[in-house]
Amino acid sequence: MQNLPLICKEVALPHQTLSLFMPDPAFIQQAEAEKTYWARLWPAALVLARFIDEYPERVTGRHCLELGAGLGLPSFTAARYTNKVVASDIAAGSLAAMKQTRAAGGYTNVEIRKIDWTVVEPDSDTDLVLLSDVNYDPAGFEALSAALHRFLTGGKEILLATPQRLMAKSFLMPFMDRCSYHHSSEADGHAVSVFVLA
């Protein structure tokens, strides 16, 4: 699934417009059964990108790591303001699409890396972790929660964007004492929350 037919989509944000490469929607419909979650521009990613672009001071001068990046919209949005961004995913198709976006946009401070967030360990360079709509599968909540705790214990800040759905509440509750800021918005008719955890 690495060699996908990609199209270029213009994404308008508050202070910039990005050219994002993504699979043709016709391919997505055909590949539905193959779990191509990474291949869609989800509302949570759009809201997180808008949040970063509206409040660039949250990312300015920092070293960011996006886990489960999919198409990488938050990473490429942050790249305008950060020193360095690592956009990561485990899916080969995701990595290929992000590499094409990076090349076309000339993003010299964006690194594309294959990382499994269930086993990732904090590194000394990263000081801000970006996550959007990663808490969609209750079966993965334990591993995801452990990863978030590792980053927070290591002194990293997290920007987490999640749709306002029932299953998200149970996942988020243990982290609410680490929440320093909460932002609500919507994209494509879906309510999304952005939490700043530290």
Furthest C-alpha separation in the chain: 44
Q: Is 172 within a domain?
A: yes
Number of structural domains found in the chain = 1
Amino acid at 59: V
Structure tokens at 69: 């990046």
User: Of 4-8, 62-66, 134-138, 179-183, which range is least confident?
Assistant: 134-138
E-state strands within 35-171: 63-66, 84-89, 110-114, 128-132, 157-163
Residue 177 within a domain:
yes
What is the distance between the alpha carbons of residues 48 and 30, in angstroms, rounded to a whole number?
A: 28
pLDDT tier at 95 (50, 70, 90 boundaries)?
very high
- Radius of gyration of the chain from its Cα atoms, rounded to whole angstroms: 16
CA pair distance 88, 72, nearest whole angstrom: 8
Model confidence pLDDT, tens digit, residues 122-163: 888 899 999 999 888 888 889 999 999 999 999 999 999 999
15 is a domain residue: yes
The reported pTM is 0.93
The string of pLDDT tens digits covering residues 57-72 is 999 999 999 999 999 9
Rounded distance between C-alpha atoms, residue 18 and residue 11, angstroms: 5
- What is the average pLDDT across 25-50? 81
User: Where in the sequence is the domain holding 33, given as residue range(s)?
Assistant: 6-197
DSSP run (H or E) holding 25: helix 25-30
Residue with tokens 């360079």: 125
The answer to whether residue 90 is domain-embedded is: yes
47 in Cβ contact with 192 (< 8 Å): yes
Query: Is there a domain that residue 1 lies in?
Result: no
The confidence band for 24, taking pLDDT boundaries of 50, 70 and 90, is confident
DSSP annotation of 78:
H
The CATH number covering residue 85 comes to 3.40.50.150
